[in-house]
Structures are given as structure tokens and as C-alpha cells.
Structure 1
Amino acid sequence: MAEVSLEVDAPIDAVWAVLADGWSYAGWVVGASHIRDVDAGWPERGTRIHHSVGPWPLTIEDTTEVVRTEPDHLLELDARLWPMGAARITFTLTARSERLTEVRMAERVVRGPTTLMPKAVQDALLAPRNRETLQRLNALAKGRAGQ
């Protein structure tokens, strides 16, 4: 499982606000290029973001679905990217102070041909992408917090 973490310079509610705004998904998830729709109620369990992945015009249209949510603390997603497969991604938020939040992102491939790759190779490919994803999330959360 590829796991990375970052201390975000924003309060936990500002970080959660970014995660809870499905329309912001392409602004912080590396690879997501366009949001086509967000189900009403996002990020409730079973709701989805309908997104495109990749550079235009070579985009793939797919969805990401909420598997589990605990507002201000946890968001678990089933992120699809067919024909490559799908991954389970979990964001865990921990307040370190009033203005500092630790965000932990864990990702594992759960379906598709990518599951055939050795776990060490999966982790080596996913970890740099996920570190950049957290840096982007950090920037948006700081902006929401007015810092």
C-alpha cells in the first residue's frame, strides 16, 4: 500500500472543505483533468464524482465513489481508471493544532490488470503522485483558510 502524509498548514475544517467539494477534485488530484458532474450529497457514502483523467484529447471518462466517510476525519474512495483498474484511496485527517492538520493518504490497487504488478512497483509509482496530490490539497486548504 502506497502511504504518504503531509502536515497541512490549515485547520482540519478547511482541509475537509476541500475534500467535501467534489468540484475541486481536479484541482488537487494528480491526473484528474475535468469534472463532468458531482452527485448531490457528495461526500456521502455511495455518491460519485464523474471525472476525466489524462490530457485532452486523450482523456478517459470514469468515476470515483465514496466508500466510507467520517466528516472532518476520514474519506475512503473507490477511484476507477479503466482499463487500468481501480484503487482504494483513504484520506485520514488528524488535527495537530488549531491551524495544522496531518493528512495521511493510503492507496492500494484493488481491481484490474495493475493488481498483477508487484506491490513494491505499485508503491514506487503511486507514492510520488500521491505526495504531489497532498501538496495540491495543502495549497487549496491554505487558500480556503485565508492563510
Structure 2
Amino acid sequence: MIEVRMAVPTSVEQVFAVLADGWSYAGWVVGAAHIREVDAGWPGTGTRIHHSVGAWPVAVQDVTTVLDVDPPRMLELEARLWPLGAARIRFDLKATSDGCEVTMLEEAIKGPLSLLPAPAQSLFLVPRNRETLTRLSAQSTRKPT
């Protein structure tokens, strides 16, 4: 799996609260354009976010499903984007003296993108996932209004 880490200056619980808000995904997941629906019970195992990826008029509608969850330490997802395939994405959260270290691991597991070797996948996943974690950090540390 391709790995990206980021220190976030807030608690593990606050970062997980953003992960647990399925409606927030379009605000921090790079590529997500619109959330159509979030299953009741998100982020319980098997629940889904129904989303659109890409820009209108070529947006693709698909789903992201929770594979495993251990609040507030871990969330593992399968994000689909047919016809390109699907990816397994895992967020590991660890408390540090300065807040929280977020590790994001991702790999293409289905479809044509899964045929690419890890070094080729990392060429587009590392920059995308760094930006995703930057956005997650911003949402996690935003002060309530």
C-alpha cells in the first residue's frame, strides 16, 4: 500500500469526528465532487457513502464502503470509481505529544489501475493523498462557528 503521513495539531478524536462525518467527504477527499447520500450508521462496517467523482458533466456516481472501523483509531474503506476500478484506503490515527499523526494507506485493488505496479501507483497517489490529508487537517482543526 502507498503510505502518506501527516501531523495534525488536534486530538485523535477530533480527526476521527471528521472521518465519521460522511457528509464532509467532498470537502476534503481530493476528487470527490458531491455526496448524494450517507447510509445511516456511518461509519459502521458495511455502510456506504454514495458520491460523485469528477466535474460535471462527466461526473461518475459510485460508492465508498466501510470495510473495518476501530473508533477513534482506524477506518478502512473501499472506494469505487468504475470503470477505473476500486481502491482500499486505510486511515490510522495515533496520539502524539503535539496532537495526532494520521497515516493514510491506499492501493488500487480492482480494475485497470490495480494492474499498475506500486511505484507507478505512487506517482499519482502520493501527491493526491498529501493534499487529501492537508484538507482533512484543515477540517479537523477548524474552530466551530
In the TM superposition, residue 9 of structure 1 has moved relative to its aligned partner by 1.2
**Hey, what does 2:68 align to over in structure 1?**
68
The runs of 4+ residues in structure 1 deviating greater than 6 Å are none
- Give 1:92-111 correspondences, 5 Å limit: 92-97=92-97, 100-111=99-110
Number of residues of Structure 1 aligned to a counterpart in Structure 2: 144
In the TM superposition, residue 58 of structure 1 has moved relative to its aligned partner by 1.2
Unaligned runs of 5+ in 1: none
- Give 1:43-62 correspondences, 5 Å limit: 43-62=43-62
**Hey, what does 1:114 align to over in structure 2?**
113
**Hey, what does 1:6 align to over in structure 2?**
6
**Hey, what does 2:34 align to over in structure 1?**
34
Q: Which moved more, 1:117-126 or 1:56-65?
A: 117-126
Deviations 1:75-100 (A, max 9, x none): 00000000000000000000103x51
Letter in 1 for 2:34: H
**Hey, what does 2:126 align to over in structure 1?**
127
Task: Provide the C-alpha distance between the structure 2 equivalents of 1:9 and 1:60, rounded to a whole number of angstroms.
Answer: 34
In the TM superposition, residue 116 of structure 1 has moved relative to its aligned partner by 1.5
Unaligned runs of 5+ in 2: none
In the TM superposition, residue 118 of structure 1 has moved relative to its aligned partner by 2.0
Letter in 1 for 2:59: T
**Hey, what does 2:140 align to over in structure 1?**
141
Task: Provide the C-alpha distance between the structure 2 equivalents of 1:56 and 1:94, rounded to a whole number of angstroms.
Answer: 37
**Hey, what does 1:17 align to over in structure 2?**
17
Superposed CA RMSD in Å reads: 1.0
Among all aligned residue pairs of Structure 1 and Structure 2, give the percentage whose two residues are the same amino acid: 57
Deviations 1:62-116 (A, max 9, x none): 000000000010000000000000000000000103x510000000110001112
In the superposition, the TM-score normalised over structure 2's length comes to 0.96
